[in-house]
A and B are shown apart, each in its own frame.
Chain A
Amino acid sequence: MLRQLTRGLRALTNRSATDREITDEVEHYLTQAAAEHEQRGVPRREALRLARLELGNVTTAREQVRGYGWENIVESALADLRYASRRLRSSPGFTFVTALTLAVGIGATTAIFSVVNGILFDPLPYPNPERVVAIRELGTGGAQNAGTFGMYHELAARARSFDAIAVFKSWQPTITGANEPERLEGQRVSARYFSALGITPIVGRAFDASDDRLDGPRVVILSDALWKRRFQADRAVVGKTITLDDDSYLVVGIMPSGFDNVLAPQAVIWAPLQYDLTQGRAWGHHLRTIARLSPGVSIELATREVDAIGRAVLTETRPETYDLATRFDAISLRGELTRGVRSALLAIMAAVALVLVIASVNVTNLLLARGVQRRGEFSLRVALGAARGRVVRQLLTESVLLAVVGGTLGLLVAGLGLRALVALSPAELPRVAAIGIDRTMFLFAFVVTTLVGLASGLAPALQAMRADPNGDLQRVSRRTAGGLGHTRAALVITEVAIALVLLVSSGLLLRSVERLFAVDVGFSSSNVLTMQVQATGHRFDGEGAIGHFFEQALDNVRRVPGVTSAALTSQLPLSGDADMYGARFDPGVPNDPGPNRGTFRYAVMGDYFATMSIPLRRGRLIDDRDRAGAPLVALISESMAKRRLPGQDPIGKRIYIGPAGPYTVVGVVGDIRQESLALAETDAVYTTPSQWPFPDNPMSLVVRARSDPAALTSSVRSAVWAVDKDQPIVRVATMEALLSGSAASRRFALRLFEAFGLAALILAAAGIYGVLAGSVVERWREIGVRSALGASQGAIMGLVLRQGLRMTTVGVILGIGIAALATRMLATLLFGVSHIDPLTYVGVIVLLVATSVVASALPAWRASRVDPVTALRSE
């Protein structure tokens, strides 16, 4: 065994020495044989001749000896490789085009795969990640509600399925101290939060039950990033206190650097929830619930348990905030995080796979076209005794080599593409930070490259194998259309069909985004600057202190040159804010009995409606009269008035909003889009902060500028800081940016689909051109005969154009069928347009047919210029 290996390796690495040895041995044999004949008295020359006769062909003998051993298989593979690379080098144009095609196909597929794999399939970075679940509350119709502390409390006490169960909410404390004040992203979490994820602090300790109680100790855990950035990675910070919102907090732990907090990736600081059960807020829906399953407990089992407990709790306590038909379930945390993007990502993955298929088909087509030109070569090789398998191996080597070149370039493309994807990705994409170039990506690229190489080489190889040496050698110079015309036409038809599917998809997305931006948001976004302002610290503890700060800040901002009007609002449209309450009119008012949707509640200060250009429909706006102590007044939105009070005058009606009220409706204003452009939820109630029982803090500042709003950023900020320089200002954005950001994920998908669709269109056009150009060359003689027999140039052009259109038509018909089915995958991304929108389909068909005519034009023109005399003589 060892001997086989070493001798083989020696033969491979030092072929000439082994060859010499074999030659020497054969030579020796020859001289010995000759010497023997000579001894018997045969003359020297004759003896040599006899010896040669005996040995047979010396070269054959040598080859025979040489052909033994495994190294020869390797060697022939290497020879194939050398030959293949020589062939590829000898036609650089062809190699460049195909390698580039494959590079784009493989690169794009690999990049998208990395993103999709990272988001959808990579397990969460926690121990036993499959046991981490989210607990959901599903209202009637499947709407998902945030969790409540009351329900968490009951589940924690009763459920047996979990090792740990936890709730959390976001928290933005402002840190002060030696460095400048900074508002931090953080979370308030119940005691078992980190246990549920399965990660413990690397320094110090996690929270425990004694931390997480009302008026418990003020303790925090820092993220590695914050610890390094603000505390110079000093371990001694554990056990010291830091100042957050003017309160001292004891640092008890530091999380490890690898801790990826998927539920709030931006969070850098954590404090115990310390929930106040006494304020009657226990049943307010504003928490998220996660849990870690006990070993051996399935998600189904856990779902059954939480549902049973949840229903029991509702029956026992009947909290007002719950729809009694609410169901509860457990779902894998990864599934919950990716729920919103899953279908879009899968659609994008499918689209890029189609691009790869189209790229491979194109390469197959190019190889087939070359195969026709090389028929003579193959036939010659077979005639000279090459086994057909050997010719097939040679061709597959060529296509795999081509794929490897393409794949290597593709990795480059993938690397760049991945960076671009991560940079362009909409904020909704979870876990994007974890996406990078990794082993899986290389493995994927390698597998795809090999498959593409083999697949694209298969048809040409089979074609070569069918080659008939006799016929082909005789025919080598004659131009005739062979049977493979059908194969190539079929491939082009496939390309056209795929291109149609991709183009229809991007067309539908394009129309959706157009529709989306054509939506009347109900306010004017141009020249509006927004930012979030907060009043933090004990200096605002006094009655009315917060309101006073905001009033002063607003006054200062109004005086900034270039500002035409300014206002403050408790929630900003399209910014991700969603503050909803149940709203009900006085019992005496007959109001719509339908399901009580949540009503957005806005507390606004200043000229909010003028600044946002939200029209007043009836009655009056809120003004300076409506201050604390004055009668409570509210405005309601137009559609709320129509839906809740059909046929009645809303002015003067009294309304309760959550825990507050009654407010007297004094005016009706226009509807606006709050959560997203696509959601037409429009029930809204406006009050002033001074007439709302709880302080609204932070507030969003909206500023209408005379010209470019972004240019005012620093002067507006200084105006606020002139009141109190320690107050953090965050989320600075123009309203335009918020508007376009709200469609980010659709636009992201649209961009990708547009790129894929364009690539597919170009490749399909190249495919049509290639086949027609090849067919014109093959039919040279036939065309010559036709024109000799009197066919006009136009008729001959028509011949070629018809051939192109035939392929396109079949492809289009096939594509329409596929597209009608495949675009269902896009359903969640579409808006205001059906997935079988006729306009899109017609547009795409026109585009494809036009492209195919353009692609056919050059071959057709060339055919029309065939000179019958030359064509007929060319034999």
Chain B
Amino acid sequence: MEDNNTDVIQGTLDLLILKTLSLQPLHGFGIARRIEQISRGVFKVNPGSLLTALQRLERAGWLDAEWRDTENSRRAKYYSLTRAGLKQLDAETADWNRRVSAVARLLKAEA
């Protein structure tokens, strides 16, 4: 359809999920859409990777999961951030920022 790379940058999916859930609890599809919306379509999330990541994050204790009825009364698995998840988000954010600025500096130096 388009040549633009819409893959989520390797290793950032966790960060994106954590950040998205820090705003409000969401189900899997909701998370995917929210990431697409906020990134204005830059990132398209692969559902398989997303659900696997959710499973992993839940196991790690960063997310809580709960089956709830949605607004259109279907059952869905809602994920929310735990306290540990919040801490992890902070850590990953700081790490990301550090790396972004490093890359930015490098690019600047070359330009």
Interface residues of A (CB under 8 A from B): 3-4, 7, 21-22, 24-26, 28-29, 31-33, 35-36, 54-56, 60-61, 64-65, 67-69
Contacts and interface: CB of A to CB of B under 8 A. Distances in A.
B52 to A, nearest CB: 5
23 contacts: A3-B58, A3-B59, A3-B60, A3-B61, A4-B60, A7-B58, A7-B59, A22-B51, A25-B76, A28-B74, A28-B77, A29-B47, A32-B27, A32-B29, A33-B29, A54-B47, A56-B48, A61-B47, A64-B48, A65-B51, A68-B52, A68-B56, A68-B59
Given A32-B29, A69-B55, A60 B48 contact: yes
Contacts of A28: 27-29, 74-77
Given A3-B59, A36-B33, A25 B48 contact: no
Nearest to B76: A28
Most buried by B among A4, A21, A25: A25
Contacts of B77: 21, 24-25, 28
Contacts of A56: 46-48
B39 interface: no
Given A60-B48, A65-B48, 16 more contacts: A3-B59, A7-B59, A24-B75, A25-B51, A26-B47, A28-B27, A28-B75, A29-B32, A31-B74, A56-B47, A61-B47, A64-B49, A67-B52, A68-B52, A68-B59, A69-B59
Interface residues of B, number: 23
Interface in B66-104: 72, 74-77
A33 B45 CA distance: 13
A22 to B, nearest CB: 8
B47 A55 contact: yes
Contacts of B60: 3-4
Most buried by B among A3, A24, A28, A29: A29
Interface string B4-46: 0000000000000000000000011110110000000000001
Contacts of A65: 48, 51-52, 55
A35 B76 CA distance: 14
A868 B32 CA distance: 68
Contacts of A36: 33
A29 B74 contact: no
Contacts of B27: 28, 32
A33 B36 CA distance: 13
A29 B51 contact: yes
B66 to A, nearest CB: 12
Nearest 7 A/B pairs, CB to CB: A61-B48, A32-B29, A64-B48, A65-B51, A55-B47, A29-B29, A65-B52
Given A28-B28, A28-B77, A29-B28, A61 B51 contact: yes
A26 B74 contact: no
B97 to A, nearest CB: 28
Nearest to B46: A56
A47 to B, nearest CB: 14
A65 B47 CA distance: 10
A25 B55 CA distance: 11
A26 B46 CA distance: 12
Contacts of A67: 52
A32 B76 CA distance: 10
A64 B52 CA distance: 6
Contacts of B52: 64-65, 67-68
Nearest to A21: B77
B82 to A, nearest CB: 10
A22 B54 CA distance: 11
A21 B55 CA distance: 11
B25 to A, nearest CB: 15
A33 B74 CA distance: 14
A3 B58 CA distance: 9
B36 to A, nearest CB: 11
A53 to B, nearest CB: 11
A109 B72 CA distance: 71
